[in-house]
Amino acid sequence: MTDDRVYPSSKPPGAATANPTFPANKAQLYSANRPAYRQPASRRRTHSRGCCCRCCCWTIFVILLLIAAAAAASAVVYLIYRPQRPSFTVSSLKVSSLNFTSANHLATGISLSVIAKNPNKNVGFNYDVTDITVYKTSPGDDDVVIGKGSIPSFVHGKKNTTLLKSTIGSPPGDLDELSAGKLKGELKAKKAVAVKIVLDTKVKVKMGSVKSPKSGIRVTCEGIKAAAPSGKKSTTAATSGAKCKVDLRIKIWKFTF
C-alpha cells in the first residue's frame, strides 16, 4: 500500500537557498594582488620631447661655438695690431679777454692749440666733433666754467701728429654770485688762475678692415696757469707743466685699451 503522507520540510517557509562557498584558487589570489594596469604614454609625445631636447642642445652648442670663434678672432686682431691710446698735449693757450661785462656775466676769449699724436702703425682714429670746456679750479672749491668751444671732426691717421686749434668763447650762462665774486677778486689782484681743459668726443677705431663702434673719449689737461690781459695784448698761459690724461675704453670683444 502506498504511503500518501506529506512530510514537512526542515527549512522554514520563505527562506532563500544559500550558494555554497569555495576557497579562492591561485588565479584569483594572483589577480587580487597584481597592481592595476596603466597604459604607457604615447610614443608621439616621447618623440616630440626628444626632438625639443636635441634642438635646444644644438642651439646652445652653436651659440657657444660662435662665441668662441669671435673671441679667437678678436684675440688675433688684438695681437696683430697691438693698439695703443692716442696722446694729447696743450701746446699753447692765449687769453685775449677774461672780464666781467655785468655782475655775473663773464666775457671770455681764449685761443687754444692742442697736439694729438697717434703712435700706432696700423690703427687709425675717426673723431666726431669735440666739445671743449675750460674750468677755473681752486683747492677746496668747485670747478667754475669760464669758457666753451669745439673742434671739428677729423681723421687721425696712422703714425700721425695733428695740430688742433679752437677759439674758446664765454660760458653759456651767468656765473653764480659766489663763484663770480671769487673770480673777480682773483682777476683784480692780477693773479694767474689755475685752468683745467676738458675735451669730450666720440671716436671710431679702424684696424685694417675691422672697425669698432663709436666709443666715448675724454681728455683732461691740468697744470695750466692763465692770467687776464691788462690791455689789448693777449697773455700767454704757462703750459709747460700741463699734463693730459686720456680716458678711452675701446673694446675689442673682451680686450680693452
Question: Is residue 186 included in any domain, yes or no?
Answer: yes
Q: Tell me which residue of 21, 163, 170, 38 sits closest to 102, measured CA to CA.
A: 170
- Quote the pTM value: 0.68
Task: Of 54-68, 93-107, 234-248, give the lowest mean pLDDT range.
Answer: 54-68
Dump pLDDT digits (tens) for 110-122: 999 999 999 999 8
Domain count, the chain: 1
Question: Is residue 55 included in any domain, yes or no?
Answer: no
Question: Is residue 3 included in any domain, yes or no?
Answer: no
Q: How confident is the model at residue 55 (pLDDT cuts 50, 70, 90)?
A: confident
The shares of helix, strand and coil residues in the chain, as percent rounded to the nearest 5, are 25, 40, 40
Question: Is residue 34 included in any domain, yes or no?
Answer: no
* pLDDT for the residue numbered 254: 46
How far is CA 113 from each of CA 51, 95, 116, 170, 201, rounded to the nearest angstrom?
67, 12, 10, 17, 17
How far is CA 241 from each of CA 10, 143, 234, rounded to the nearest angstrom?
137, 19, 20
Half-sphere exposure of 103 (CA within 13 A, CB side): 3
Dump pLDDT digits (tens) for 138-191: 888 889 999 999 999 999 999 999 999 999 999 988 999 999 998 988 888 888
Question: Is residue 135 included in any domain, yes or no?
Answer: yes
Q: How confident is the model at residue 255 (pLDDT cuts 50, 70, 90)?
A: very low
* pLDDT for the residue numbered 70: 62
d(CA 34, CA 39): 15
Q: How confident is the model at residue 65 (pLDDT cuts 50, 70, 90)?
A: confident
Question: Is residue 137 included in any domain, yes or no?
Answer: yes
Q: How many residues does the chain have?
A: 257
Question: Is residue 50 included in any domain, yes or no?
Answer: no
pLDDT above 50 for 1: no
Q: Between 102 and 68, name the one with better pLDDT.
A: 102
DSSP-derived 3-state class of residue 102: coil
Please give the average per-residue pLDDT across 87-106, as a whole number. 93
Question: Is residue 43 included in any domain, yes or no?
Answer: no
Dihedral (C-alpha) 26, 30, 31, 36: value to the nearest 10 degrees?
180
β-pair partners for 163: 115
Please give the average per-residue pLDDT across 236-250, as a whole number. 88
Q: Tell me which residue of 150, 113, 103 sits closest to 234, measured CA to CA.
A: 113
Enclosing domain of residue 127: 87-249
* pLDDT for the residue numbered 232: 82
d(CA 147, CA 104): 14
The CATH number for 211's domain is 2.60.40
Phi-psi category of 159—alpha, beta or left, where left has phi over 0 and alpha has psi -120 to 50?
left
